[in-house]
Structure 1
Amino acid sequence: MIPAVTVWFDGDCPLCVREIALMRRLDKRGAIAFENVAGDGSCPIDRADLLARFHAREAGGPMVSGAAAFAALWRAIPVLAPFGQLARLPPLLWILERAYRGFLRLRPRLQALVRRLDARPSRDAA
């Protein structure tokens, strides 16, 4: 089966790993191909560019990044598809892209926070 969408993600990013895990659970039809760019996943463009922003390609379409890539991902998951369809509206996509760019500025600090939280000993282990 040809995937409805292929997404490229940073498997070394704890935020990305969590989000992709959620998307895998929601992808009950297996419509999404997930490529870990930090691992041995395919890189159709420069690896640094793929690691800097979220990228996706709907079957037969162009590669997109940022909010447009999230919208493509959402369209492949029935429960999120309405949000992906709404994101086709240029004003909404513009707003989502601005929000994504804001997130990218915070991403390094959020990654560091999640890594520190992950490194803490579990209360269950005590």
Structure 2
Amino acid sequence: MEPERATSTVYYDGSCPLCRAEIGYYSRTDQDGALCFVDVSAAGAAPPEGLTQREAMARFHVRAGDGRLLSGAEAFVEVWRRLPRWRWAARLASLPGVLAVLELGYRLFLPVRPFISRGVARLQQRAAGSERG
């Protein structure tokens, strides 16, 4: 499968340490420049058309290269499809029923995301403190 030429735009909550870490990984992995990243928490950032900033920050969204706005598990699958090392996961997600299970997992994760993010922030603070000391 040959990758699309148009980039996909990833909209993420940059105020979330967990999200920043994940997007950092994706951006380092995106050697082909297939993804464009927009921190929708930043002042003046434009959320995807049809969504408020709050809605854009509440779920993961991707504008696919073909113009479709995807969210949740579908958005992650689009990112994986665009990254060579993750295409296996996108192929797995195309199997019958897998996307529904991924979406269910994502919906179960959303309420605990703030707690995990706080834990990630504390770990990052400790790591930064040990680097200084």
Cα distance, 1:103 vs structure 2: 1.3
RMSD over aligned Cα atoms: 1.6
- Scaled by the length of structure 1, what TM-score is found? 0.90
What residue in structure 2 maps to residue 42 of structure 1?
Answer: 46
Among 68, 79, 83, the residue aligned to 2:85? 79
Question: After the TM superposition, which parts of structure 1 deviate over 6 Å for at least 4 consecutive aligned residues?
Answer: none
**Contact 2:11/2:56 (8 A) holds in 1:** yes
In structure 1, stretches of 5+ residues that fail to align are: none
Distance 1:74 1:41 in 2: 24
In structure 2, stretches of 5+ residues that fail to align are: none
- The SS at the match of 2:97 is helix
Q: How many residues align?
A: 125
C-alpha deviations, 1:49-102, integer Å up to 9, x for none? 110000012112421110000000000101101211321334000111111112
Mapped pair 1:11 → 2:18: no
- Scaled by the length of structure 2, what TM-score is found? 0.86
- Sequence identity percentage: 38
**Contact 1:7/1:55 (8 A) holds in 2:** yes
